[in-house]
Structure 1
Amino acid sequence: MKVHICAVGRLRGGAERDLIDDYLTRFDRTGRALGLGPAQIHEVEDKKGGGTAAEAALLERAIPQGALLCTLDERGKVMSSPDFANLLARWREDGRSDVAFAIGGADGLDPGLRAQADASLSFGKMVWPHMLARVMLSEQLYRAASILAGSPYHRV
């Protein structure tokens, strides 16, 4: 199952980019034997300032046709890392070939795009900067693959 991180904004070089690259490389390596990955990042940018509606249109074009859509949103479901791993495994076992995680910009996701989502996840009640949300998702993808592989990376 291919994983797509569809996000508003361009992440330049720096600490966040380094972390994302590291975790997604680990995810690809660990997930390959499990039928997970590869992971790709699709960045979109609304240069005309059209707000969340314009960002949603750009995100919709970045999401692969037929992909399961999971939004990252403060109103989404809070779950443990093992539960997230099991969710990925279930989607894979259901025959989903693509899953797209949508991350909005500074103003979040457009309500219309949120309404189209098959699932919605939250990293807690606190609001996180959208660039950090990418890092956190990348790490949780790697952690999920590690859990499914029986690796000691995730400790309870």
Structure 2
Amino acid sequence: MKITVISVGKIKEKFYSEAINEYAKRLSKFCKFTEETIQDERADENFSDSEIEQVKIKEGLKILAKIPKNSYVIALDVKGTIISSEDLAQKINQLGIDGTSDITFIIGGSNGLSNEVLTAANFKLSFSKMTFPHQLFKVILLEQIYRAFKINSGEAYHK
């Protein structure tokens, strides 16, 4: 199975990069893992709603260009479906059983994802109604993907 994570914005803090690298290494036992980072667009705090929408559209076009062909797309969206770790494991397992060998997770920029990206997604997933820093969220996402593979392989990590 191939797992791709597309995210907007660079990881700036070393401790986040180290955590991401650790989970990437752990994931390599279970899947081919790749990540794509999209340059975030400048968005001042005083931007109007229409200017923010334009930022999301520009970032969205870059995201859409990076999605592998025939990939099952999971967009991380605060308005998405909240599921458990076990449910995520089951979803990944079922996709594999159904013949899907390529899954792409998308983490948007600080203003969220464009409607075009959300429309292109096969599934919209929310981890919480809370807001997380994007860099930390990437670590959380990778940990949950790793946990899903551990659950599916029957290993004790999940306990």
Q: Same fold (TM over 0.5)?
A: yes
The superposition leaves residues 45-66 of structure 1 with CA deviations (integer Å, 9 ceiling, x where unpaired) of: 1456650000000001111111
Q: 1: distance between equivalents of 2:16 and 2:93?
A: 27
- 1:88 has 2:92 as partner: yes
C-alpha contact 1:3 1:98 (8 A) present in aligned 2 = yes
* Structure with larger Rg: 2
Structure 1 position 39, deviation (Å): 1.1
Larger displacement relative to structure 2 (101-110 or 112-121): 112-121
Alignment match, 1:38: 32
Alignment match, 2:136: 132
Q: 2: distance between equivalents of 1:47 and 1:129?
A: 16
- Relative to the length of structure 1, the TM-score reads 0.90
Any idea what SS the aligned residue of 2:145 has? helix
Aligned length: 149
Structure 2 residue corresponding to 1:103, chosen from 79, 103, 107: 107
Q: 1: distance between equivalents of 2:42 and 2:147?
A: 37
Q: 1: distance between equivalents of 2:148 and 2:132?
A: 20
Q: 1: distance between equivalents of 2:116 and 2:108?
A: 12
C-alpha contact 1:6 1:44 (8 A) present in aligned 2 = yes
The superposition leaves residues 20-68 of structure 1 with CA deviations (integer Å, 9 ceiling, x where unpaired) of: 1111211221x1xxxxx21111001145665000000000111111111
Structure 1 residue corresponding to 2:64, chosen from 39, 60, 63: 60
Q: 1: distance between equivalents of 2:13 and 2:40?
A: 20
Q: Gaps spanning 5+ residues in structure 1: where? A: 32-36
Any idea what SS the aligned residue of 2:23 has? helix
Any idea what SS the aligned residue of 1:109 has? coil
> Which residue identity lines up with residue 133 of structure 1 in the other structure?
F
Structure 1 position 97, deviation (Å): 2.4
Alignment match, 2:49: none
Q: Percent identity?
A: 32
The superposition leaves residues 135-155 of structure 1 with CA deviations (integer Å, 9 ceiling, x where unpaired) of: 111000110111111111101
C-alpha contact 2:41 2:58 (8 A) present in aligned 1 = no
Alignment match, 2:26: 26
Q: Gaps spanning 5+ residues in structure 2: where? A: 44-53
Q: 2: distance between equivalents of 1:110 and 1:47?
A: 13
Any idea what SS the aligned residue of 1:153 has? helix
Any idea what SS the aligned residue of 1:16 has? helix
Alignment match, 2:83: 79
- Relative to the length of structure 2, the TM-score reads 0.88
Alignment match, 1:34: none
